[in-house]
Amino acid sequence: MSEVLAEQRAVAAGPLVTPRELLPYAIFAGVLLSMLIFFAGAEEGAAALVGGGAVHELVHDGRHLLGFPCH
């Protein structure tokens, strides 16, 4: 019985996920968050990637919630 407990403790002691395995997910999340910040904060006027005001109107309330001025 004590051998089983010792084996369970040895397995549980190691890391489940290494930082190297998390790196692609961290990069993906960073790119998505950067895009969100761009579209919420800078997508209008000269820096606009999409013509017209559709994106601005879509994220309008979110801009005010995050503290970005737009008027």
Three-state secondary structure string covering 16-55: CCCHHHHHHHHHHHHHHHHHHHHHHHCCCHHHCCCCCCHH
**What pLDDT is stored for residue 11 in this prediction?**
57
Q: How many domains are contained in the chain?
A: 1
48-60 pLDDT per residue, tens = 666 767 777 777 7
- Please report whether residue 35 resides in a domain: yes
- Please report whether residue 4 resides in a domain: no
8-65 pLDDT per residue, tens = 565 566 678 888 999 999 999 999 999 888 777 776 666 666 676 777 777 777 777 7
- Please report whether residue 6 resides in a domain: no
Compare 68 and 14 and report the one with higher pLDDT.
68
41 neighbors 59 (Cβ within 8 angstroms): no
**What pLDDT is stored for residue 13 in this prediction?**
66
Range of the domain at 29: 18-66
- Please report whether residue 1 resides in a domain: no
**SS3 at position 11:** helix
Q: pTM (2 decimals)?
A: 0.55
- Please report whether residue 62 resides in a domain: yes
